[in-house]
Amino acid sequence: MTAQRTTTLMLCLLLSAFLHAQDKPPVKFGKISPADFDVKAPSYDTAAEAVVVADIASSEFVGNVKGWFTLEFKHFKRIKILNKKGFDAATIEIPLFGTNSYGQRLEGLKAYTYNLENGKVVETKLDDKSIFVDKVNKYLSQKKFTFPALKEGSIIEYTYTLESDFFNNLRPWAFQGIYPCMYSEYNVSIPNFFQYVTLTQGFLPFKRSAPSSRSVTFHLTIPGGADRDETRNITDEVVETKYTMKDIPSFKAERYTTSASNYISKIEFQLARYSFPNSMPKDKMGNWFSLCQGLMKDEDFGADLNSNNGWMDDEIKNLARGAASPLDQAKKIYAYVRDNFTCTSHGALYTSNPIKTVFKNRNGNEADLNLLLVAMLKHDHLNADPVILSTRSNGFTNEIYPLISRFNYVVVKLDIDSSTYYLDASQPWEGFGHLPQYCYNGHARVVNPDSPQPVYFEADSLREKSMTTVFFSNEAGKGLLSGRVVSTKSYIESSDIREKVRDKGEKEFFKGVQTAYPAEWEISNSSIDSLKMIDDPVTVNYDVKLKSDGEDIVYFNPMMSDGYKENPFKAAERVYPVEMPCGFDETFVLNMEIPDGYVVDELPKSTKVTFNEDEGFFEYLIAKDDNGIQFRSRIQLKKANFKPEDYGTLRDFFAFVVKKQSEQIVFKKKK
């Protein structure tokens, strides 16, 4: 489900649940009685390790001494710790964006732990010396603390005010989190001269009060420098809206869910424009054209991409030698960046250094490396542009609104003749024209001021194909059977294998292969083909032997160590979509001689089933003759994403696959 469809669903839910909410906060900060300790795991989330009793916040505008406005976000949260596993809820991180002179400031932080001892409430205040600041980068830091005197059954609560010079994005609010919440409330007060677009999502509806308005006079102090400061008063109607939700279950991450941020119930606000008396309205959201223009002028993104960059001349000339075509030249430049630069981190939208510094240091984050690649391709007169996207774990972007905060990754678009290639030079095992699977998260955007085209990296478009063949023959006097396994992996799996081998070596990799077999199996003569040929899939080869103790009956699973050992979809029901990394086509073929001295006593039956008519199938074909057995198992899914209503069918499909692939051939000793 795309972000747009999720938003549409939530809007429908809101319309049906639009109520004049009269909910009142159940608790107040600092007001604790022995009765408050009676909170237990709620019936809708009985496995809870902690419970959020109340999560309450507000956002409002105030005039400041800089001649403008400050956005004040006030937050209060109370949590009951149910057991030791819930202690994680007592570590709090508050992100702060900006610089010392312009950004966000934390004020009035108070935090207390309450314990019930001999029927009396004992409070322990957080010491200011226990609050730490972590500098993440030049624009982001985190205030971090852990509550003192923590015990099973403790109540913890904290409150603070966050003053912000940024209000393009009004503070978002998530009603749902990793712990169940008894009550969540967000109050938003917006002057009429600020106009915001409201974005909502989630499968659980929340209440929205009928908006009310009041007249407010804002006092703005304009610094006079050497002269006296000037005070300017602006009066406007402020619209107040309250959003509430009660009895909220925790969000439980299920297998094949890309990001909780796509599906938790939450609300966001994006500044569209503002308009003051006697002045023209000013558009703040802009459009994709203006966003791309801004990015290409940004010193931390695209300002250097179209510069002369003469310092690249020698390297580009060296790479040009022997290039037979523009495509060949592009491949050389791509391989040069991929193989000679180290990526220090992934998930960055902006550069950490100028690209000339990145070139000199031979390292940087993924934005550094991929924007350097764009600059080098452009310097060689090739048609390249950055592409911004959001990785699967980061959540969906919004196709309609140019919300830069939704993006967290940069790759490269290259056009040569009539072909388009997408590149990521930050991954040492990624071939030309391939992207890591975590980039396949739907809508992305080409950063080109003249043509900011949308691009769609859909997991449904990926079809990973693998093929394993096994040949078994009798080995008289040396064991029951011996054979050769040749397994050509899919491209994504090949990338994973290259990473594992790079980190731990081939020997350690094949230890894992051996572990997948039962104790009576033994592998040897192992090798991996095409390990360094990044553009090709790898092929894993090894000999395998089944040791025999001369049993009267031998059970043999034709899938050996392959196949599905358990159903990946265990829950009886599912609320959220299923998001696999790709579609796939997996084939396993076995040809074997019947072991000397044995006959086939039982043979599984052949079968074939389809999934949703034409969206996939599973076939299990087996036959025997006087000398041998021929077996083929193939499972194919043509898409990666499935709606919640398809979950039952998907679960039943894999349950059948697991059951069938566990069936065994029974060999019986000749009399």
Domain boundaries, the chain: 3-274, 288-457, 463-669
Q: Which residues contact 537 (CB under 8 A, 6 or more apart)?
A: 488, 489, 490, 491, 493, 494, 530
Residue 647 has a pLDDT of: 96
For the four alpha carbons of 397, 400, 403 and 407, in that order, the dihedral sign comes to: positive
The strand pairing partners of 578, in sequence order, are: 642
Does the structural domain 288-457 have CATH classification 1.10.3210.10?
no
User: 65 is written with which tokens?
Assistant: 């001494």
**H or E element at residue 592:** strand 583-593
Dihedral angle of Cα 255, 259, 261, 265, to the nearest 10 degrees: -20
Q: Which of 1-15, 173-187, 297-311 has the lowest mean pLDDT?
A: 1-15
Condensed to tens digits (0 to 9), the pLDDT of residues 139-158 reads 789 999 999 999 999 999 99
The single residue listed with the structure tokens 């005010």 is 161
Q: Is the pLDDT of residue 118 over 50?
A: yes
Domain spanning 463-669 has what CATH number? 2.60.120.1130
User: 480 is written with which tokens?
Assistant: 């029951």
Q: Is the pLDDT of residue 87 over 70?
A: yes
Confidence band of 476 (pLDDT split at 50, 70, 90): low
Measure CA 474 to chain center.
49
Q: Which residues contact 59 (CB under 8 A, 6 or more apart)?
A: 71, 72, 73, 74, 170, 171, 186, 187, 188, 189
Q: Is the pLDDT of residue 6 over 50?
A: no
The strand pairing partners of 667, in sequence order, are: 554, 600
Q: Which of 196-200, 505-509, 594-598 has the lowest mean pLDDT?
A: 594-598
Residue 23 has a pLDDT of: 64
Residue 215 has a pLDDT of: 95
- Please give the mean pLDDT across all residues of the chain: 91
Condensed to tens digits (0 to 9), the pLDDT of residues 402-414 reads 999 899 999 999 9
Condensed to tens digits (0 to 9), the pLDDT of residues 429-473 reads 899 999 999 999 999 999 999 999 999 999 999 999 999 999 998
- CA–CA distance, 270 with 162 (Å, rounded to integer): 18
Amino acid at 315: E
Across 254-336, the runs of DSSP E, i.e. the strands, are 266-274, 282-283
Alpha-carbon distances, residue 58 vs 187, 241, 247, 434, 530 (angstroms): 4, 10, 20, 45, 58
Tell me which residue of 285, 287, 305, 307 sits closest to 296, measured CA to CA: 305
Percent of the chain past pLDDT 70, that is, above it, reads 96
Q: Which of 53-62, 306-315, 505-514 has the lowest mean pLDDT?
A: 306-315
Q: Tell me whether residue 658 is exposed, middle or buried, using C-beta atoms within 10 angstroms of its C-beta: 0 to 12, 13 to 18, 19 or more.
A: middle
Pairing of strands 583-593, 463-474: parallel
Q: Is the pLDDT of residue 551 over 70?
A: yes
Count of helix runs (H) and strand runs (E) in the chain: 9, 36
Which whole number is the average pLDDT over 161-172?
89
**280 or 370, which is more confident:** 370
Residue 478 has a pLDDT of: 54
Q: Is the pLDDT of residue 3 over 70?
A: no
- CA–CA distance, 208 with 22 (Å, rounded to integer): 10
Q: Is the pLDDT of residue 671 over 90?
A: no
Alpha-carbon distances, residue 137 vs 33, 103, 168, 344 (angstroms): 42, 14, 21, 13
Q: Is the pLDDT of residue 221 over 50?
A: yes
Q: Check if the beta carbon of residue 403 is closer than 8 Å to that of residue 356.
A: no
Amino acid at 405: S
Does the structural domain 3-274 have CATH classification 1.10.10.10?
no
How many Cβ atoms sit within 10 Å of the Cβ of residue 518? 9
The 8-class DSSP code of residue 430 comes to: P
- CA–CA distance, 84 with 81 (Å, rounded to integer): 8
DSSP secondary structure string for all residues of 323-388: --SHHHHHHHHHHHHHHH-EE--S--SS-SS-HHHHHHHTEE-HHHHHHHHHHHHHHTT-EEEEEE
Residue 66 has a pLDDT of: 87
The strand pairing partners of 342, in sequence order, are: 363
> Phi and psi dihedrals of 225, rounded to 5?
65, -120
Dihedral angle of Cα 123, 127, 132, 133, to the nearest 10 degrees: 100
**H or E element at residue 122:** strand 120-125
Q: pTM for the complete prediction? A: 0.87
Amino acid at 60: E
Condensed to tens digits (0 to 9), the pLDDT of residues 263-294 reads 999 999 999 999 888 788 888 888 999 999 99
Confidence band of 479 (pLDDT split at 50, 70, 90): low
- CA–CA distance, 317 with 663 (Å, rounded to integer): 61
**H or E element at residue 492:** helix 491-504
Cα angle 99, 105, 110; round to 5:
145
Residue 366 has a pLDDT of: 97
Which whole number is the average pLDDT over 170-183?
95
Tell me which residue of 446, 384, 444 sits closest to 415, measured CA to CA: 384
Q: Is the pLDDT of residue 497 over 80?
A: yes
Cα angle 193, 198, 201; round to 5:
170
- CA–CA distance, 492 with 538 (Å, rounded to integer): 10
- CA–CA distance, 452 with 230 (Å, rounded to integer): 43
Q: Is the pLDDT of residue 560 over 80?
A: yes
> Phi and psi dihedrals of 126, rounded to 5?
-70, 125
Scored b (16 or more CB within 10 A) or e, 547-584 reads ebeeeeebebebbbbbbbeebebeeeebebbbbbbbbb
User: 629 is written with which tokens?
Assistant: 């057995």
Q: Check if the beta carbon of residue 281 is closer than 8 Å to that of residue 269.
A: no
Q: Is the pLDDT of residue 159 over 80?
A: yes
C-beta pairs of 453-456 under 8 Å, 24+ apart in sequence? 454/399, 455/387, 455/389, 455/413, 455/422
- CA–CA distance, 349 with 371 (Å, rounded to integer): 10
